[in-house]
Amino acid sequence: MHDKSLINAGRLLLKNLTQQQHSRLYLAVLLGVLASIAMIVQWYALARLTYAVLIQQQSLVEQSLIIGLMVLALILRSVLVRAQEHYAQLASLHAREALRNQILFKWRQISALQHSQRSPGSAASQLIEDVEAMDGYFARFWPQQLLAVLTPLIIAFVVFYYNWLAALFLLLAAPLIPLFMVLVGMGAESINQRFFNQRQRLAGHFLDRVKHLTTLKLFAAESAALTEVNLRSEDYRQMVMKTLKLAFLSSAVLEFFTSVAIAAIAIYIGFALFGAISWGPSADITLFSGLFILLLAPEFFQPLRNLSQFYHDRAAALAAATQIATYLDQSDTTKNLPAGDISEQQSNSALSKLVTTDLSIGYNANEKLQGPLNFELTTGLCLVISGPSGSGKTTLLHTLAGYLPPVSGELLLNNQPITKTAIRYLPQKPWIINGSWSDNLSVLAPQATEQAMQKALIQLGLEPLISNRDNGLDSKLNEHGEGLSGGQLQRLALARVILSPAPLVLLDEPTASLDAESRQYVLAVLAELKSQCILVISSHDPEVLALADQQLHFKFKGADSSC
């Protein structure tokens, strides 16, 4: 299902992101190593204390130095671990921020039409939830994969100093664990993939029924649907449990080795202390070294256990990174879109000129919709495009806006490619943001003053809607303009256009589906706007056509028009 090269792209992305955070991450690892050393000191002191009291029969009061050392080591260890987490979390925060910036940069480079091919919801999930899901990888998994090697090595080294046989035992058990885990884990991974698909299907089924609740109610099929939802969950549970029986073996392996290693070391030390084993280093064992080794044995395996707990962080991050890397690597269809905003806005006193030479338009290079088109427009002139739906009216507007490269021919505004100049585009469905009236105006007309906004609203007959509201311009539009009619929303969008004049204004069906009142306001504003810019409108409205200095009437090309 996942292509190898795609996963590699995901790996590469993760690698680059960690590379940027190397200093923080390595600092975290260093602090983790120091914490391990403090931990060793802590248990050293405990073993010493026990030995002194139980074997050497010294009084507790004499041990204040070793008790002090133990408390100090404890506090130091805890604080070092806290510091380790602090730096790992900071690294994660910055890595995610860097990745989000990469995505946003990509967003600025691709054309608006390419954006519309993805649902905004899933794009938002990628930017927010998917990037958020990588937190565990940087904050936990990455430092831990180093610590899972370093900490056991340090412990083994210390154990080796006191008893090489016990150290050998630990060192033999440790590499076996990852080996077994990989063996079991590989099986579990493919299961996990299947399990993931099943899970998606179950969630999909549930959401499908929720989405169609109205239909279920209209057809009185509620109880049948409820039974079905419950049955599906039950099937899913049975299926998952079958696979989990195998998947959980990997954690059982880890548990088994930890337990057996502790048990074996304890029994070995016990027998050695008893005098039952006398060869090798066994004769030198005391209660101190025996207890010390026993206390260190669980700590030897703990980092590995933590790593296996964080393993799903890695899987989640890799899945997200693969998706994001695929998206970032996509080539752009438009080449000359500026990645940043060009701040200089053309002063509108200058006369602008829009020229097309043998321009052919279409969504695919080999499927031209209309063309060749030749026209020349200067400020004060208006071009109206009409024709049946699907004949290429909106396509021409998209091409003029620079969202779509011409199939052939050339298109210049003031002798420059169109994307060099800020223009205005008003699509059929106006863009309304969740905020106040003034938010909605200033989002596309950042320089507009409050007075100018008032004036524009009066011009479009929207003033009465806010004049009796307490906060005036700052009063909220209802959520996404609900409660306002389509015509009122269209007028609001047009108000932005007249607030921030641009040399070229493109309007897509500005009067379609408007009530009579809205239509009159819109027509009046269009007539006034015409003198200030080059106006290109797609419309069937005879009164809009009356504004035209030039007209284009599109007919269907080719035979694929179906009725």
Partner 1 sequence: MLNPRPNTVSPIRFWLGKVLEHQKKRLLIGLLLALLTVVSAMGLLALSGWLITATAITGLAITAGSVIMLDIYRPGGGIRFFALSRTVGRYFERLHNHDLVLRVIAGFRGTLFSGLLDLPVQQLRNTQDSEWLSRLTADLDNLDSLVLRLLLPPMTAVGSVLLLALFMSFFSITLGMIFGGVTLISGIFYFSLLTHKTTQICRFYAEQINEARLLTIEHLQGQLELQAAHLNEAHQTRLVQSLGEIGRAQLKLNQQIANAQLMVSICHGLLVIGVALAAMWAYQNAIFSGPVAVMLVLAVFGLGELLQNLPGQLGQWGRTRYAAERLQPLAEHKTTEKMELEQLERLSMMLADHPKVISTIDTAMAFELNVGQCLLVTGRSGSGKSTVANILAGLEIPDSFITPYQLLINGIPMRTEQTQAWHKQIGYLNQQNSIIAATLYDNLTLGLDEVEEQQLWQALTLVELDDWAKQLPKGLHSWLGDTGSQLSGGQARRVCLARLLLKESKLILLDEPFNGIDIEMAECIWQRLYPQWQDKMLIVLMHQT
Q: Considering only residues 389-418, where is the footprint of partner 1 by CB under 8 A?
A: 401-403
Provide the minimum distance between the beta carbon of 98 and partner 1 in the complex, in angstroms, as a whole number: 11
- Exactly one of 189, 234, 367, 528 binds partner 1 (CB under 8 A); that residue is 234
Find the radius of gyration of the CA atoms of the chain: 35
Query: For partner 1, which residue of 245, 347, 349, 470 counts as binding (CB under 8 A)?
Result: 245
The reply to whether 221 sits near partner 1 by the rule CB under 8 A is: yes
We find the least distance from the C-beta atom of residue 8 to partner 1, in angstroms, to be 27
**Shortest gap between Cβ of 145 and partner 1 (angstroms)?**
18
Cβ burial 92-124 (10 Å sphere, 16+ → b, else e): beebbeebeebbeebeeebbeebeeeeeeeeee
Residue 222 interacting with partner 1 (CB under 8 A): yes
Cα(451)–Cα(302) distance, integer angstroms: 67
Q: What whole-number distance in Å separates Cα of residue 549 and Cα of residue 378?
A: 11
**Tokens standing for 85?**
């987490």
Does residue 241 belong to the site contacting partner 1 (CB under 8 A)? Answer: yes
CA distances from 419 to 389, 404, 415, 416, 445 (A): 26, 11, 12, 8, 18
Task: Give the binding-site size for partner 1 (rule: CB under 8 A).
Answer: 144
Residue 65 makes contact with partner 1 by CB under 8 A? no
- Binding to partner 1 (CB under 8 A): which residues in 98-127? 100-101, 104, 107-108, 111-112, 115-116, 119-121, 123-125, 127
Closest CA to 126 of 333, 332, 311, 322: 322
Q: Which residues ranging from 506 to 525 are in contact with partner 1 (CB under 8 A)? A: 506, 512-513, 515
Q: How many residues does the chain have?
A: 563
Q: Interface residues for partner 1 in 320-359 (CB under 8 A)? A: 337-338, 340-342
CB of 40 to partner 1, least distance (A): 14
- Give the binding range for partner 1 (CB under 8 A) out of 145-153, 348-356, 362-370, 493-501: 493-501
Least distance from partner 1 to the Cβ atom of residue 290, Å: 5
Nearer to partner 1, 125 or 360 (CB): 125
Touching partner 1, residues 415-474 (CB under 8 A)? 422-427, 431, 433-434, 443-444, 446
Name which of 111, 44, 100, 38 is nearest 72 in CA terms.
38
Q: In what order do the strands lie in the sheet with 408-413?
A: 370-378, 353-361, 408-413
| Residues in 125-184 at the binding interface with partner 1, rule: CB under 8 A | 125, 127-129, 132, 135, 139
Figure out which of the listed residues 270, 380, 472, 501 binds partner 1, where binding follows CB under 8 A: 270
CB 262 within 8 A of CB 294: yes
- Please tell me what DSSP assigns to residue 223: H
Does residue 295 interact with partner 1 by CB under 8 A?
yes
Q: In whole angstroms, what separates CA 194 from the centre of its chain?
A: 24
Is the dihedral angle over the CA atoms 322, 323, 324, 326 positive or is it negative?
Answer: positive
Q: Which of 256, 336, 458, 531 binds partner 1 (CB under 8 A)?
A: 256
Looking at beta carbons only, is 250 or 379 nearer to partner 1?
250
Question: Does 240 engage in binding with partner 1 (CB under 8 A)?
Answer: yes
Q: Which is nearer to partner 1, 101 or 378 (CB)?
A: 101
Which amino acid type is present at position 230? N
Cβ(226)–Cβ(246) below 8 Å: no
Q: Does 68 bind partner 1 (CB under 8 A)?
A: no
